[in-house]
Amino acid sequence: MEESMLKFDIKEVKSDLLKAIAECSQRGLMHTTKWLAELNYSLKNIKLDPSDTPSDISIAEPSEEDDIYTLAKSYFDLKEYDRSAYFLNSSNSAKARFLYFYSLYLSDEKKKIDNMTDVPSDPLKNSSLKHLCSELRKEHIAENLDGYGLYLYGVILKKLQLAKEAIDILVQSIHKQPMHWGTWLELESLITDREKLEALVLPNHWIKRFFMAHMYLELQLLDEGLALYCDLQAMGFRKNGYVLAQTAIAVHYRRDVDNAIATFKQIIEDDPYRLDNMDTYSNLLYVKELKNELAYLAHRATEIDKYRLETCCIVGNYYSLRADHQKAVMYFHRALKLNPQYLSAWTLLGHEFMEMKNTNGAIHSYRQAIEVNKRDYRAWYGLGQTYEILKMPFYGLYYYKQAQLLRPRDSRMVLALGEAYEKQDRIPEALKCYYKACNVGDIEGMALIRLAQLYEKLGHHDNAAAAYTDFVTDEYRNEDRTELSHAYKFLTQYHLKREELDQANHYAQKCLQYDETKEEAKAFLRTIAQKRIKVEENPMVVEDMNETDPIGDTENRAVATTPAGSQLSPMNLSFTPTQ
């Protein structure tokens, strides 16, 4: 991509950052201010000349409107939003008008959270939000909105589910004020595929590279995303916590959990009081079942800020790993009380309800997660599992399809889709899914065994034997003893029928290691011994058989005498049936 080839002047970057930090701070955009300040800190070794310092950060004698703004801003910082809006009602400057509308918006959001029940309110029925949208539309028509005002207008359009209009307004905002990271993030959640991303007309500003890298990760374009983050690290942001965290998330998406954990440990070493992205770190520790590390992280996060969203999520994961699901649910609910749009908490809450066999709660939680972000494959996958439990296979199939579309190279999604097809006797589709799961890297080692079992059920014994042979090749990875013992039993019977006594003897010896097949293995070995005695007593029989000779030098004979298709060959797992 061209973004990875572009360079930028690092002094110009620092100058832009200093100016944007001042502007965002004045407008109460604290999350963007923090994000920009962290980027600026990464460039602490870059020294600016006086000529590089932003010229429009000047010290002038304050006017009466400046005094009103300072008063209103102090109320805003203390979350007295109605009070702030009251004093700014008659102000005319773009900065003051933004803070006026932003105060009204946050006042409404705060009241909505304070009055929230278990079922979130419908934004389309929110009259105050519609009134605010109407006011901002008038300002926009009169061309009174600057980049920050357009951002707020775009956010409200998005809340009212006017996505197309919201995208247009947010792109206008970015052109006017590209340094406001919050606008890019609001736009990100509206872009659902690569075509929409490439259709955007965005300014050729250095911060666009941060957005493109972020979008590539969201759209599961991991190679492109990692390449851009590597470029950003090389250009001066090597120690930036955000860039490192995004790199760790990309590595995690590629199922390299150990490297992702190592990157998060580096982030904590550089910034021990950081809580941003630590909920993702706790998910990784949960997956690896690292109880001690997760307990320490939960204790540390609670000491730093017990009421942060990330802390609630971390502690919830800790209790979930201890199988204390009631407490986990309590902490995820606490996170959602703080922010009903917190995606991770909705998804994890759904997982907890599944553990508690509360399917209604799970469905509600997963649906809320999808409302927040339609690209959350975990929520689609969770809905598929839930409807499968409820014996509603057609619903389950639909949700598994959505999950697989979002994660086309994740074998777990493909495998689940294959199993759903198999349950509905859609065998060709199931076989395609199992082959694809093998091709993309069978994470859980289940695709081969499902493929083998399906072929066995269909009576395609040669294909089943090929799949079982590959499955048992890595017996240490495949920990399910029942499936391994069945695979060895099938292969023993298969080779025995073909008079391939050495192979049959090898697999029968393996069967002896499992209680489930020990007695049958003894019977197989007796049969093999009897067949060998017969062969030794009547060696001429061997000359008449087209089977592989298990005693003599067999390799050339097999090539010369075995008919095409009767000799077992390893599975060609790179083969994918024609769509």
Query: DSSP letter string over 189-255?
Result: TT--SHHHHHH------TTHHHHHHHHHHHTT-HHHHHHHHHHHIIIIITT-HHHHHHHHHHHHHTT
Instruction: Write down the pLDDT at residue 173.
Output: 94
Q: How far is CA 169 from the centre of its chain?
A: 28
Dihedral of CA 324/330/332/334: which sign? negative
d(CA 454, CA 30): 56
Q: Note whether 204-266 and 275-373 share their fold.
A: yes
Contact 550, 502 (CB under 8 A): yes
pLDDT digits (tens, 9 = 90+) for 492-520: 888 888 888 888 888 888 888 888 888 88
d(CA 285, CA 261): 8
Q: Which of 365, 335, 571, 554 is nearest to 469 (CA)?
A: 571
Contact 93, 65 (CB under 8 A): yes
The helix/strand/coil state of 323 is: coil
d(CA 309, CA 337): 9
CB atoms within 10 A of CB 127: 8
CB atoms within 10 A of CB 494: 21
pTM greater than 0.85? no
Tokens found for residue 240: 């930036």
**Domain regions of the chain by residue span:** 204-266, 275-373
Instruction: Write down the pLDDT at residue 154.
Output: 94
d(CA 492, CA 510): 9
CB atoms within 10 A of CB 61: 5
d(CA 83, CA 272): 37
DSSP assignment string, 127-196: HHHHHHHHHHHHHHHTT---HHHHHHHHHHHHHTT-HHHHHHHHHHHHHH-TT-HHHHHHHHTT--SHHH
The one-character DSSP state at 61 is -
CA dihedral 389, 390, 395, 396 (to 10 degrees): 0
* Domain 204-266 is found in CATH 3.40.50: no
> What's phi and psi for 461, nearest 5 deg?
-70, -35
Q: How far is CA 133 from the centre of its chain?
A: 33
Q: Which of 345, 286, 350 is nearest to 311 (CA)?
A: 345
CA distances from 109 to 128, 177, 307, 337, 345 (A): 10, 24, 18, 12, 19
Q: Which fold has domain 275-373?
A: 1.25.40
pLDDT by residue for the chain (579 residues), tens only, comes to 444 445 678 888 888 888 888 888 888 888 898 888 888 888 878 787 766 655 554 444 556 777 788 888 888 888 888 988 988 888 888 888 899 999 999 988 888 877 765 555 666 667 888 888 999 999 899 888 889 999 999 999 998 889 899 999 999 999 999 999 999 999 998 888 888 888 999 998 899 999 999 999 988 888 899 999 998 888 888 888 899 999 999 998 888 889 999 999 999 998 888 899 999 999 999 988 999 999 999 999 999 988 899 999 999 999 999 999 999 999 999 999 888 888 889 999 999 999 999 999 999 999 999 988 888 889 999 999 999 889 898 898 999 999 988 888 888 888 889 888 888 888 888 888 888 888 877 766 788 888 888 888 888 888 888 888 888 887 655 566 778 888 888 888 888 888 888 888 888 888 888 888 888 888 888 888 887 787 766 655 444 444 444 433 433 333 333 333 334 444 444 334 434
Instruction: Write down the pLDDT at residue 573.
Output: 42
